[in-house]
Structures are given as C-alpha cells and as structure tokens.
C-alpha cells in the first residue's frame, strides 16, 4: 500500500502468537546432515593440509589428518550449531549470524577433505584454495558493492554485468594504448560510471523501467565489446589488447606470515582496493550523513524530499559512484588478473553480484561473504578437477546457483529490501 | 470490438505534461506498444546511424584516409560511404535477396534463412511478452529453451514411433520440459515471494550446468562420439520437415511459430484467461479483490510463458538433422527479451520484431564476408530497443516531431504525486474531480509502485 | 512569523486546483483552512512547501516575497509541515528521522548523541514522551505524529502546517494535539490547520478561511455556527439525510460470531467480533480510521488469512472461503480504496464492469469473452448509473472519482445480491454523486438485502444507518440504534463504553 505510516490496523493487546521463523534453522540442519554424509562416505585416509604457497619453500610442515576423523569432527560442530539455531528460534530469538557462518565453513572444509581423500595425493593446497577464492571473487565483490549502493538509494542495477564487461574492455584497451596501467584503471572506472549515468538517466529522466534499461544495457555492452573485439582487437592484439597486469605488492613483514600472508598481504592493487572498499562502503552507508540520506531515499523518497533532499540528483550521483566501483571490478578482471580482454569475460558475474546483494541483505560485508562463496565454488571446481574428484564438475558448477536460488526463495524475506527499490521518483 | 485497451488516444494539448510521467514496466511496455510505426522507424534509423559510425571507424580503408584527412577530406567521405554502402548491401544480400546469386533459388535463400532465424525469436519473444503482460520479468528464456530442447531431443532420439506421431510426442516432451522449468519460477514467486529476475537468472545457469552434465551421460549423449557434451541427433521421424523442398532449410517450425502468434493474440485479447492475466499484470490487488487467485495466475502465466519459449527450444532441437550441444539456445533466450520489448508485448508487434531481428541474424555471415564484424547488428538491436523504450529521448533528438499522441493512463493507485494530476480526464473536467484527486492522492503517494519486489 | 499567500493559482492541465487563493496568517495565530475533501487545501500547502510550483501568485514571509523550489528552502525559511500521511521512514529511529536532511556531523560522520539530545530537548519542552532510539515503525500513530512535530520544530519552524492531522487520531489524541497547538501558538509559532472537521475548527482556531472548489469562499469566525460553516464549505444547504422508509427487517442474514484476526506477526487485528445483520437492514460500522474496520470487511470477503471464528451468510460458512466463493455466494463488495482494489485503471469501463465475472456466466462464451454481451451490459450500466464517460471503451482511470465509484457500484449491484458490503462508499466522491450512491444503497436495503457499510464520516453514518456498530481498537465496542446522538457516538469511538 502506501509507504506512509497511516495505521493499517489497530494492534490489539500484545503480540499473541509470535511466529517463529524456522527456515534458517532448517536449512542449517540440512547442511549439517550433508556434512555428516561426507563423514560417513569418506574413507579413513590421510590428507595433507599444506600451508605453503605453491613454489615457495616450506615454512611450516603440512598437517596430516585422517579425512574421516576431521569430517566427523566438523559434522559434529555443524550439528551442534544447527541444534543451537533451533534452540534460539524456539526461544523466539534470532539465531546469531555466526552459527550460519560456522555451518557453512564446516561444510566447505569437510567437502574439501572428502575430495582430497578421494584423490591420489591427498594434498589440500590451502593457500591455493584461498587465494583462488579471493581472485575469483574480486569482480563479483566490486559488483555487489555497486549493487548494494544502487539498491540502497532505490535503483535496481541489472546492468552491473555490462559495467564489468565494459570496464574490463576499456581498461585493457586504454592500458595497452597508453602503456599506463593507472590510466587503464581510470578508464575502466569511468566506463562503469558512464554506464551508470545512462542507466540513471534513462530511469530517472526518461522513466524507463530500471530492469528494462539494465537488461538492454547488458545486451548492448555484450554487442559493443564483441564488435570491437572482432573488428579491432583480434587483429591488433599487440597494440590494443596487451595491457600487462598490475604488479603484486607484497606488504613488508605481513606478507611473510604463513597462509595469511600470501592470501591477504601479497596481492594486486585491485584486490587491496576491494579489501578497503567493503568496510568503507559499509561505514559510508551506516555511519555518515550521506549514507543516512541514501538509505532514506531507498526507503521513502518522498519523505526525504520533504526534508529538502533532492531525490533524483542524489540517486543519479550515488548510482554513478557505484558505477565507478563496478568499473573497477571490470578492470580487476583484466588488469587485476589475466591482462588482455577476452570476449564476454564477465560471464555472468554481474548477475551473480546482484544475487549476492540479495543474499547479503543489502549489507556490504554479507554481500562480500556471499561473493566469496561463489569464488570458492568456482575455484573448487578447478581444483577438484585437477585432484581427480569423482563429483562431475558440471554439477559442482551448478551448486552456487542452486544455493542462491534456495537462499533467495527460502531465507530472504522480502521485508528487508529497501522499500522503494526499482521505483522511479516522480514529482511535478 | 476487442477492447484495445492501450491503444493511443488523441489527447488534448491541455493535458498536464506531467501526466505522462508515470512509468512502470507495464506502462513503458504499453507505451512502446502505443508508439506508432513512426517512432519505431526513427529508432531503427538512429541505430543505423550509430551502426554506420561503428562500421566506418573500424574500417581499415577509412582509417587510412583519416591519416591525411586534412589534405584530402573527400577521400575519407568516399571511403566511409563505400564502407557503409558495402556493409548494408551485404546486410541486404544476407537477409533478403542475394542479387549476386546464380539462380533464383539461391537469390531468395537469404529471405528463407531470415524466416528460419525469425521463428524461434518470435516464439521465445511471445513467451517473454506474456510474462511482461502479467507484470513479470522472465529473464529465463535461455534455461527454458535448453530444457525444451533437451526434453524434445531426448524423445526425438530415444523413442521409436511412426512418422508424425514421433514428432508430436517429441514436441510434447519439449513443452513439458520448458513448461516445468518455467513453472518453478511461478511457484517460487507465488509461494515465497522470491523475485523472478534473480530466480530466472539462477535457473539459466542451473539449466546450462544440468544439461551440459546430461550431455556427457548416456541420457542424452551418444557415448561413442567423443567427450564433448552433445545430445544425440533427432531421428528422422521426429525432425521438423522442410517446407520449401530440399533446397531450403526453412522447416515446419517457422509455421508453428507463426501459429503461436495467433494463439498468443487469441489468448491475450479474446480469451477469459487472458483477461485475468492482463488484470493481474495491471493491478494485482484489484484482481485479488475480484476473486482472481493471483498466485495461481503467476504460476499459470509462467508455465504459459515457458510453453512459448519451449516452442523456440523445440524448433532448435528438432529443426536439424545433427547433434547439438549446450549452446543450442544460440542466445535466443536473451534476444527474446529485446524482441518482446520492441514488439511491445503484442502478438503482431512481436511478429514484426522477430522478423526484423531474424533478418539481422541471418545477415551475419554475409556481413562477415564483407569484413564487417556482424556483432554490429547486435549493437544495433540493443540500440533500437533502447530508443524505442525511451520515447522522450527519441522525441528530444527529433524535435520536429509533433507532441506525440499519448495515452493518459491513470496508474494504479499510489503511484506518484503526479497521479493526482493524471486523474484529470482529458475530455471532461468537473471541478469536483480535481478535489477528489487531491484528496485521495496528494499526500499519500510517493514514487511509483508496481514491483513490490526486493531486487 | 507572518505568512501571506497572494493570488495563488495552481493548475493541473485543464483543471484549476487553486484559483487565486489569498490568505494571511498572523504571527502566533492558529489559522484554520476549512474545506471539503479535496477542495484544494493540500495542493495549496504543497505549493507553500515547495513541492508544487504555483502557476501564479506569490508567497510572503514577514512581508518579504519568497520563492521555494523545494521543501528544503521552505524549511530553511521557517516553514514546517506535518503531512497527512507522515513523512517518516519506518525502519529508522526517531533520532534518525528527526535529523534527516540536517544531520549533526563532523567530517560527515553522524553525531548521534547530538541528535538524541535535540530530540529530548524539544520533547521535554512540550511534554512529549519520545525515546529517540525507538524505531518509528514500532510507535503508535499518535506518537509518530509527535515525532513529525518534533521534526518540524527541530528545524526552527516558525510556521507549522498541519494537514488533516486528526484523521488518524482518537478523540483523546485529538484533544492532546489541540493542546499542543495552543502551546505552540503561545510560544509564537504560527499554525495553519487544514481540516474538514467543523467541530475541531471551532474548538481551536483563531481565524477560519473556507475553501471550496479551489477558491476562497470567505473568512469565518470560530463563533459561527456549525451550520453556517458547513454551508460555506459545501456551497449549499447540507442535507445528508437520505430519504428512506423504515426498514422492513427480515431474518438475520449475515451472522458474524467470535471472529478474531491476526496479522503475519501474530498481532491481533480483530478481537472477538460478533454481530448480525438482518435482511433489509443497513448496519453501519463507525469508528476512527484504522480501528479494524477495513480488516473486518476483508475478513468477510476472504481477503485475509488467519480468520478465526464463524462468518455465516444465510447459513453458509464463509470464514474460510476464498474470495471467489464469497463473491459467488452473492456478496457485493465496494472496497475502501477503489483505485487500488476496485478498479484496473488501465482497463476500459466495460472491462471493469466485468472484472469479477470472467470465469463463467453471461460475460463468457466457452473459453472466450462474450464481447457483444459485455458492450451491451456496459451501455446499460452507463445509462442506469449515469456514469459520465464518452463510452464504454474509455479507460476507467480517465474518469472522475465519483464516476469511478459508480462503475464499481454498477458492477457490484448488478449481481444477484445476498449481501452488500461497502467500505467508505462516498470517499473522494463529489456531492452530486454522494446522494446518488446513498440512494442506491438504500434501494438495495429495501429490496431485502442486508447491507454492511463502513464509514468514518459521522454524517454518513447517521444518514444511512438502521443500526450503528462502533469499532475501537479491533473490537466492536457497542451496537446502538440509528438515532443515537453524536456525542454518544463520539464517546464510543474514543473507546468509552457505556
């Protein structure tokens, strides 16, 4: 109905039957059972958790454990968490988020251990799994930050996919032509911002439905980048599509810490930017006056207007800034990773980012966590293939989408979304 | 007559311009529908202009002349004109009539190829259009097509039935596959409130992985034919027969897709069910109050949408003699969105848009021969839709256009401050009505509201 | 601060919402703007507040002409507004709502303590009890309104506009609000009090300006009689009494027994509702808006889940019936919000006339719609109900509110009625149509059908009712006969049982 607070109904007396929401607990229990299933199906084989970066001298020796034992231990922990979740819900309290995280972690570790147990070497390259996860998540995290900002201010940005693609393309080309990686980064960000402006312009000024503009923009960017790729890049890749990559910048001392060092402190600048941006966007949204206004605009733009906040101008510029971030995500795909641009290299990561926004309940930290899950599963697929896992890789590839589908359908109520998302604000 | 609800009505100049500013997906869609052929023509023209620029500035010869543009600018224009002329000539040869061909059959083959490409675009476009009309965004054309193709392909390859019956059974399988896959979306939307955009996108990926997996297993794959994921070829009894003889690959699928246009028209404009579908699309609250089971309509609408999209999948799987892989959808699922948008979600609009885009697809190889990257056509398709979707933009580019005939559509309630003004009838203006409008609307409304969805 | 509006004209297309309106509000004055629903009062205030731009006229503050391009400038100039529908963000706290737009901050980082202190300071001044950290959505309506007032005052408002502030308040809360208004005016704040309720105007206003059809009709003194004010407001002798014969009562037809209703959070919306309506009787449910009346009609219609208790129509149990079945049982329903629930604006008049009959019946022919029947039906209905429309193919959204309501009524009355439910049947309807609608409702009663009317307008309650049920906080607090005096009804609406 209206977004106003005219009383819909009287509330008679206290809450009579506080409904318990069992969904979360049930999902946790199911995941815990799957973890248990790993334990029961995994043979009693020794697996090696190797803590060293591949190619680096061994600093600490690999930890040897029995796969079945560790799966059992993890399963027990998961079961305990699930039980705890049920207890919390039973007491009509909200189960702490940490339980969800623990269940997810135990599941993932058990999964890895059971795959390693089935492989020949029994080796679990922890650093590879973690750095790969971060590497494959980076663009999605940038995209989801852009999505969070956009939706918090009331604009659905389906075009993130196009922004990643466009950012990847221009950053590679500009860096190749100018021989400057910095200019390449800037070009990628500007591309993202320009696309945001098109999206915002069409949806705010011309009042075209945001989903429609988004979808069309994605189609357009796929067409444009493919066109230029065939028409220009593929013939002159030396000059136009050979940008090189951003250097790894190990942070002194910190990067020498085992495991954590190579994973967190020996990365490219784009990855560091991501580490900084996630908390920065959170702080911006929840602790600053600008963030307060942005959130107000996503919830009740008319109310914001009546206190003198120019709704459409704020929306336009917030989405544009979000575009800078998405464009940087695109640059991370090329300059921050493999270098040259490849046809349709975003491969749906922008859409995944959108899903992460919802899974992460419009919170930068949670959205980033969801994105990490996607990154992990993509990386896991690569590793499991190499390790000779018996699980068909196509089905592994399917899991994150399935998880998202279930999570969106089962866990995320529609109530948490900013109320005015996707609706243009029209006055006189 | 059949109540063309959203036909443009001439409106006096005095109608508040703000009254036009009430957008929602539906309204944008119906606005597109109401846009006369002129606007679509202009949109096509604009995108041709942009396309020409792209062609010119990626053409080697043209770029060479740029080097001495100051000295001999005519060279540049000559080369540019040549590049554009050759590209569009190739487009014409590839899509309509190949005047260079040796025989008449060869000359008109491009036209039949355009129709062949148009068929699935039309069918899938109708499916997407149906979801739009019910107020939903079905982005899941890809997954639904894959499911339709895989189910149809399974029946076509694995069953042994007489000619005719086999085809029907295989088609039925395809419809079931696509309908079920789309039905999941409807179910989730109806019972959990999950937003269909996210759900359909996820289901696309799941379908790709699932079908790729099955195309590696004996379910769909001929295990003697290598490791690449492919599905077995349909048996001859289940193939869609060609309709213009062996010289042309145009097959029965095209006629089925044309038939689907009429089915769609009947369903949406004439039938009882279509009435309820449109009602839910325009105002689900009123539909519920009028006794319509809105959740059931969501499910039915998605299944119907999936059936139309499924026809496109069937067309792809059975309109061939060989095996096929997981990219059998050929991007049609996504293109169908633009077809539906350009066609204004109307039966014959989609037909037109599908034919146009089909022709552009068919012209690809011919363009390639002429050394023009055929992707320029994809860009042009996107631009056409973008321009058509934003009437004010086209208007601001072509300022000579008269203020267009616009339907003053009063939105569903609670849409915008402007809704108040829009209450004003253009034809009669009892003052009491102004009052009504303000009393009801002035304070209580804010940004428009069609989607209550979290996305 | 002295506020002066001179010759304000605001047009929406061909319609003149404000026509040369001039008013002057002296410092510290409570100036009532009296007018019917939608006489142009809200438009005028939105012009003042910079939400609309006036086509003609000027605004003067302390004799200086000012121009506002947005609410921000109006507020800076010292104008505060409490909107009819509160402009609060439900998921924000009180402090966040109050500071929005002028946040105390350092380097952009919000100083929450300063915001809290400001809320406490202003609250204390007027004796409000407001927790700055409470979420607005958890507060009762009266408290939300106080938050709005605090919000306006936190910006040093010198002129406070209250737009229909009592629509959502109980009589007690109304009294408290009036007390606050006097306090504010004593402190020098000018107040513009927009209302259509005569009694409130007489109780609190210093000066009264009456607006009708977008024009100033004249000024009035608070000592003027209610009848005088009403005549000015409506433009003719108000006669809301409906010609109706004594009811010929039949057997109890609708029997509602022990109905409870919960929302999705498990809160009780309806509390042990029991009543019955006899054939040929009009029962009007009166009460302040938002005391469960809407929920009651929705529960009967099957639009609500979690309905406990029994709802029987001529012996048929409806409490768990789907809407479809309720309609098929012969229930006609005129929803409270016709634009949201009653009509599809983008459908034509003729399509709207068959909205709830697309499954079977005369409008259908096999799988198809019977277009010939539909068009004939529309032509007849347009004729019979005097719906002012060019033809049946006109989009219903283009009609005026009164004519839209007639479309709904024509549809609902054309079925084989066993019960008529009409919620706020004349809200936002012009005076001419009100009479017509009332007559049709009485005609339905006289044909021996039980009628349930929901109305928050006491005049309408008294005009239509054979019996009056008063709802308060989800309960039917009493059912009284038609002739019950206003004062008594007012007490009941405030929850004071006999």
What confidence tens digit (pLDDT) does each residue in B2-19 have? 333 333 333 332 333 333
**In A, which residues are within 8 Å of C271 by CB distance?**
12-13
C477 reaches B (C-beta below 8 A):
no
B21-67 residue pLDDT tens: 334 454 444 444 445 667 778 888 889 999 999 998 888 888 888 88
Report the C-alpha gap between B201 and B179 in whole angstroms. 16
Kind and range of the H or E run holding C161:
strand C159-163
| Confidence (pLDDT) at B35 | 52
Interface confidence: ipTM more than 0.90:
no
- For residue C118, give both structure tokens: 């400001």
Residues 407-446 of C with CB under 8 A from B: 427-432
Distance from CA of B260 to the nearest CA of C (A): 17
- What number is the average pLDDT over the span C384-389? 89
**In C, which residues are within 8 Å of B420 by CB distance?**
12
Residues 211-230 of C with CB under 8 A from B: 213-214
| Confidence (pLDDT) at B410 | 28
CB count, 10 Å around CB of B194?
Answer: 27
| C334 Rama class: left (phi>0) / alpha (psi -120 to 50) / beta | beta
Mutation target to probe the C interface, by most C beta carbons within 10 A, among B265, B427, B434 is B434
Report the C-alpha gap between B114 and B116 in whole angstroms. 5
Confidence of residue A162 (pLDDT cuts 50, 70, 90): very high
C491 reaches B (C-beta below 8 A):
no
A357-406 residue pLDDT tens: 988 889 999 999 999 988 998 888 888 888 877 778 888 888 888 888 88
Of all residues in chain A, the one with the smallest CA distance to B450 is A423
> Where do the H-state alpha helices sit in C224-357?
226-234, 293-301, 323-328, 349-352
A426 reaches B (C-beta below 8 A):
yes
Q: C352-374 burial, b if ≥16 CB within 10 A, otherwise e? A: bbbbbbbbeeebbeeeebbeeeb
Among candidates B285, B437, B442 on the partner chain, residue whose Cβ is nearest the Cβ of C46: B442
CB count, 10 Å around CB of A15?
Answer: 14
Q: Measuring CA to CA, which residue among B429, B419, A220 is closest to residue C399?
A: B429
A78-116 residue pLDDT tens: 999 999 999 988 887 878 888 888 998 899 888 888 888
Q: What pairs with residue C33 in β-bridges?
A: C194, C209
Distance from CA of C434 to the nearest CA of B (A): 12
Distance from CA of B265 to the nearest CA of C (A): 12
| Confidence (pLDDT) at B395 | 67
- Among A47-56, B318-327, C17-26, C106-115, where is mean pLDDT lowest? A47-56
- Among B168-182, C38-52, C223-237, where is mean pLDDT lowest? C223-237
* % residues pLDDT > 90 (chain B): 49
Distance from CA of B19 to the nearest CA of C (A): 9
- Tell me if C408 sits within 8 A of C320, measured CB to CB: no
- Tell me if A311 sits within 8 A of A425, measured CB to CB: yes
All chains having 3 or more CB pairs closer than 8 angstroms to chain C: A, B
**In A, which residues are within 8 Å of B216 by CB distance?**
392, 394
C-alpha of C57 from chain center: 30
* % residues pLDDT > 70 (chain C): 96
Helix then strand count (H, E) for chain C reads 16, 24
**In C, which residues are within 8 Å of A304 by CB distance?**
89, 100-101
Confidence of residue B415 (pLDDT cuts 50, 70, 90): very low
* Pairwise pLDDT comparison (C143 vs B403), residue with the higher score: C143
Contact partners, residue B147, CB within 8 Å, separation at least 6: B177, B178, B180, B181, B207, B211, B310, B313
Confidence of residue A347 (pLDDT cuts 50, 70, 90): confident
A409 reaches B (C-beta below 8 A):
yes
A202-222 residue pLDDT tens: 888 888 888 888 989 999 999
Distance from CA of B268 to the nearest CA of C (A): 10
- Tell me if C6 sits within 8 A of C60, measured CB to CB: yes
């Amino acid at each position: 109905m209206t977004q106003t607070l005219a009383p819909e109904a009287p509330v008679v007396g206290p809450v009579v039957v506080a409904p318990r929401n069992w969904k979360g607990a049930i999902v946790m229990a199911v995941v815990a059972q799957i973890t248990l299933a790993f334990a029961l199906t995994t043979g009693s084989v020794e697996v090696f958790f190797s803590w060293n970066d591949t190619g680096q001298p061994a600093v600490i020796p690999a930890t040897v454990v029995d796969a079945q034992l560790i799966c059992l231990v993890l399963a027990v922990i998961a079961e305990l968490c699930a039980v705890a979740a049920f207890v919390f819900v039973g007491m009509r309290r909200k189960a702490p988020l940490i339980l969800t995280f623990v269940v997810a972690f135990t599941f993932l570790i058990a999964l890895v251990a059971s795959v390693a147990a089935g492989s020949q070497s029994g080796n679990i390259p922890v650093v590879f799994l973690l750095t790969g996860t971060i590497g494959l998540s980076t663009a999605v995290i940038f995209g989801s930050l852009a999505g969070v900002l956009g939706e918090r201010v009331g604009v659905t940005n389906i075009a993130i996919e196009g922004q990643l693609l466009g950012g990847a393309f221009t950053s590679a080309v500009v860096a190749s032509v100018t021989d400057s990686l910095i200019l390449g980064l800037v070009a990628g960000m500007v591309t993202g911002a320009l696309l945001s402006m098109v999206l915002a312009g069409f949806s705010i000024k011309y009042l075209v439905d945001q989903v429609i503009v988004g979808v069309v923009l994605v189609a357009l960017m796929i067409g444009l980048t493919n066109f230029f790729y065939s028409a220009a890049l593929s013939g002159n890749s030396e000059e136009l599509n050979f940008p090189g990559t951003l250097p790894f910048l190990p942070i002194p001392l910190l990067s020498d810490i085992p495991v954590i060092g190579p994973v967190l402190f020996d990365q490219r600048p784009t990855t560091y930017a991501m580490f900084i941006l996630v908390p920065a966007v959170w702080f911006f949204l929840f602790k600053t006056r600008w963030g307060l206004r942005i959130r107000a605009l996503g919830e009740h733009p008319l109310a914001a207007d009546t206190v003198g906040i120019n709704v459409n101008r704020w929306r336009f510029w917030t989405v544009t800034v979000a575009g800078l971030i998405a464009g940087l995500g695109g640059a991370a795909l090329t300059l921050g990773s493999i270098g040259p641009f490849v046809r349709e290299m975003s491969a749906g990561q922008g859409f995944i980012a959108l899903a992460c926004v919802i899974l992460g309940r419009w919170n930068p930290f949670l959205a980033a966590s969801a994105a990490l899950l996607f990154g992990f599963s993509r990386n896991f697929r690569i590793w499991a293939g190499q390790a000779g896992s018996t699980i068909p890789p196509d089905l592994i590839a399917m899991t994150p989408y399935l998880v998202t589908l279930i999570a969106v359908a089962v866990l995320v109520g529609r109530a948490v979304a900013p109320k005015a998302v996707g609706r243009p604000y029209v006055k006189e | 007559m059949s109540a063309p609800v959203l036909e443009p009505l001439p409106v006096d100049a005095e109608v508040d311009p703000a009254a036009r500013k009430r957008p929602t997906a539906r309204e944008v869609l119906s606005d597109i529908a109401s846009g006369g052929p002129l606007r679509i023509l202009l949109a096509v023209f604009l995108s041709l202009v942009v396309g020409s620029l792209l062609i010119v500035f990626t053409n080697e010869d043209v770029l060479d002349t740029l080097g001495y543009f100051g000295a001999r600018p005519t060279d540049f224009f000559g080369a540019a004109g040549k590049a554009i002329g050759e590209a569009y000539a190739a487009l014409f040869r590839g899509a309509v009539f190949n005047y260079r061909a040796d025989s008449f059959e060869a000359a008109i083959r491009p036209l039949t190829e355009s129709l062949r490409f148009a068929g699935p675009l039309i069918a899938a476009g109708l499916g997407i259009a149906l979801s739009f009309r019910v107020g939903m965004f079905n982005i899941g054309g890809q997954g639904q097509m894959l499911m339709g193709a895989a189910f149809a392909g399974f029946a076509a390859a694995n069953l042994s039935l007489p000619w005719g019956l086999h085809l029907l059974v295989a088609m039925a399988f395809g419809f079931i596959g696509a309908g079920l896959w789309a039905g999941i979306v409807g179910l989730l939307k109806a019972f959990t409130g999950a937003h269909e955009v996210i759900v359909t996108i996820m289901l696309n990926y799941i379908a790709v992985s699932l079908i790729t997996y099955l195309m590696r297993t004996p379910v769909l794959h001929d295990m003697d034919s290598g490791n690449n994921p492919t599905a077995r070829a349909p048996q001859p009894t289940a193939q869609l027969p060609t309709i213009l003889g062996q010289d042309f690959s145009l097959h029965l699928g095209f006629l089925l897709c044309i038939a689907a246009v009429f089915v769609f028209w009947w369903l949406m404009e004439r039938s009882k069910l279509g009435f309820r579908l449109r009602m839910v699309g325009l105002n689900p609250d009123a539909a519920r109050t009028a006794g319509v089971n809105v959740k059931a309509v969501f499910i039915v609408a998605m299944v119907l949408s999936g059936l139309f999209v499924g026809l496109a999948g069937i067309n792809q799987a059975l309109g061939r003699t060989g095996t096929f892989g997981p990219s059998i959808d050929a991007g049609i699922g996504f293109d169908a969105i633009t077809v539906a948008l350009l066609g204004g979600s109307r039966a014959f609009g989609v037909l037109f848009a599908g034919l146009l885009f089909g022709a552009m697809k068919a012209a690809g190889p011919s363009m390639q021969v002429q050394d023009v990257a055929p992707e320029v056509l994809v860009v042009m398709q996107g631009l056409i839709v973008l321009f058509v979707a934003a009437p004010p933009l086209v208007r601001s580019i072509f300022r000579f256009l008269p203020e267009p005939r616009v339907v003053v559509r009063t939105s569903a309630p609670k849409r915008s401050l402007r809704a108040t003004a829009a209450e004003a009838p253009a034809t009669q203006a009892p003052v009491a009505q102004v009052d009504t409008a303000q009393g009801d609307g002035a304070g209580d409304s804010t940004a428009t509201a069609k989607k209550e969805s979290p996305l | 601060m002295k506020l002066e509006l001179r010759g304000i004209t605001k047009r929406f297309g061909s319609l003149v919402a404000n026509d040369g309106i001039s008013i002057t509000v002296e410092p510290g004055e409570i100036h009532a703007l009296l007018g019917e629903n939608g006489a142009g009062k809200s438009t005028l205030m939105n012009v003042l507040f910079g939400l609309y731009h006036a086509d003609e006229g000027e605004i003067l503050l302390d004799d200086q002409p000012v121009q506002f391009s947005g609410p921000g400038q109006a507020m800076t100039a010292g104008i505060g507004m409490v909107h009819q529908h509160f402009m609060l963000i439900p998921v924000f706290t009180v402090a966040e709502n109050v500071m929005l737009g002028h946040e105390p901050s350092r380097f952009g980082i919000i100083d929450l303590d300063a915001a809290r202190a400001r809320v406490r300071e202003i609250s204390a001044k007027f004796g409000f009890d407001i927790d700055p950290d409470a979420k607005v959505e958890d507060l009762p309506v009266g408290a939300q309104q106080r938050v709005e007032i605090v919000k306006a005052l936190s910006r040093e408002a010198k002129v406070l506009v209250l737009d229909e502030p009592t629509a959502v308040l109980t009589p007690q809360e109304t009294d408290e609000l009036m007390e606050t208004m006097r306090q504010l005016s004593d402190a020098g704040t000018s107040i513009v009090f927009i209302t259509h309720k005569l009694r409130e105007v007489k109780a609190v206003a210093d000066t009264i300006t009456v607006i009708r059809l977008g024009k100033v009709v004249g000024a009035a003194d608070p000592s003027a009689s209610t009848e005088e004010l009403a005549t000015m407001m409506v433009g003719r002798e108000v006669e809301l009494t409906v010609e109706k014969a004594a009811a010929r009562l039949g057997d109890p037809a609708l029997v509602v027994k022990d109905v409870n209703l919960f929302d999705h959070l498990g809160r009780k919306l309806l509390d042990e509702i029991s009543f019955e309506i006899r054939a040929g009787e009009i029962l009007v449910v009166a009460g302040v808006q938002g005391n469960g009346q809407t929920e009651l009609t929705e529960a009967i219609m099957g639009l609500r889940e979690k309905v406990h208790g029994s709802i029987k129509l001529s012996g048929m149990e409806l409490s768990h019936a789907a809407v479809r079945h309720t309609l098929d049982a012969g229930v006609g329903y005129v929803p409270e919000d016709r634009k949201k629930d009653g009509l599809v604006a983008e459908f034509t008049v003729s399509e709207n006339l068959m909205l709830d009959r697309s499954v079977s019946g005369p409008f259908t022919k096999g799988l198809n719609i019977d277009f010939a029947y539909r068009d004939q039906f529309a032509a007849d209905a347009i004729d019979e109900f005097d719906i002012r429309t060019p033809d049946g193919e006109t989009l219903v959204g283009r009609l005026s509110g009164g004519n839209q309501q007639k479309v709904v009524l024509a549809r609902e009355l054309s079925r084989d009625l066993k019960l008529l439910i009409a919620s706020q049947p004349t809200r936002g309807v012009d005076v001419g149509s009100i009479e017509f609608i009332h007559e049709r409702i009485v005609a339905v009663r006289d044909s021996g059908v039980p009628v349930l009317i929901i109305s928050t307008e006491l005049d309408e309650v008294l005009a239509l009712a054979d019996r009056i049920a008063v709802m308060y906080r989800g309960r039917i607090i009493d059912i009284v006969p038609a002739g019950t005096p206003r004062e008594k009804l007012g007490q009941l609406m405030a929850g004071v049982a006999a």
